[in-house]
Amino acid sequence: MEPAHPMIIKLHDDLLAIYKLIREKYQVNIDKAFDTVSKQIGFVVATSLPVRIEIGDKGVVKQLSMGSENLKGTLFERELLAATEGMKKEKLATVGPGTFNLYLIWFSALKLKLRADWMEPAHFRKLILDRRITATAGTKPIPEPQEPAHWFDPGALISAEDAVLISVIDEIYPELRLADTVASYRTELAKVMPEVKEPAHFRRASPDDVLQAIRKLLDETQR
C-alpha cells in the first residue's frame, strides 16, 4: 500500500482537534440534547447524527449545521445546535479553513448499542442470521440499523474520508471500539448475505482490507 496522502494526514489531524474539543467541552451537553429529543419523541431515534462544522481563518469556528437536509427544522437541529452554540466562540489554532463533515455522538447510548461483549463468537453469526430470517418472515422486526448504516454494510465501500473519520472517533472515543465493531459486523453480515450485488464490481474491498487500511492509517499518523 502507498503511504497515506498528506491531505489525508491533515484531515485526520484537523478532525482529531475538532473531536477533542467536542468531547472535552461539549459532550455532556450533546448527550443531554439527544436525551431531551428522545424523551420528547417517546423513543430513541438515533444515537449519532451528521453535522457540518465550518472553520474560518485562524481556526475560528464560524458555524455548525446539520449535515442532512431532512434534519433541518427538526427537534434534533434545535437541541443539538443549542448544545453546541458555545463552539462559535472557540478557536482551533491548528485547524485550517474549511468545512468538515462529522458525526455528533450520544456517547453513553451508542456505547451501549455497540457493545457485544455478551455475544460468544461461536454464536455471533447465528444470532445475525436468525434475526435476518425472522425479520424476513415477518415474525419479528429486523434489528435497529447501525449508524452510519453504510459503515456496517458489507456491500458498501468505505471511502478514505470515512476511514479517517472512523480512526479519529476510535482515538477520541476508544470505549466504542468502533473500527473493530465495524469490521466485525461487515465480516459476519457478508457471510449471511451470499447474494450477488449488481453491478458486482461495486464490491471492491473486503471488510478485512478496510480494517487493515484503517489500522495502517492510525499507525502512520501516530508515528
pLDDT one-digit tens code per residue, 42-83:
988 888 999 999 999 989 999 999 998 999 999 999 999 999
Question: What's the CA gap between 172 and 146, in Å, rounded?
Answer: 20
**pLDDT for 120:** 41
Confidence of residue 165 (pLDDT cuts 50, 70, 90): very high
- Alpha-carbon gap, residue 135 to 158, rounded angstroms: 26
Report the range out of 1-15, 76-90, 118-132, 181-195 with the highest average pLDDT. 76-90
- 13 Cβ neighbours under 8 A, 6+ residues apart: 94, 221
pLDDT number for residue 135: 40
Mean pLDDT for the stretch of residues 156-177: 89
Helix (H) or strand (E) holding 77: helix 75-83
Domains in the chain: boundaries: 6-114+145-221
- Location of C-alpha cell 451537553: 29
pLDDT of amino acid 177 = 87
Where residue 178 falls among pLDDT bands split at 50, 70, 90? confident
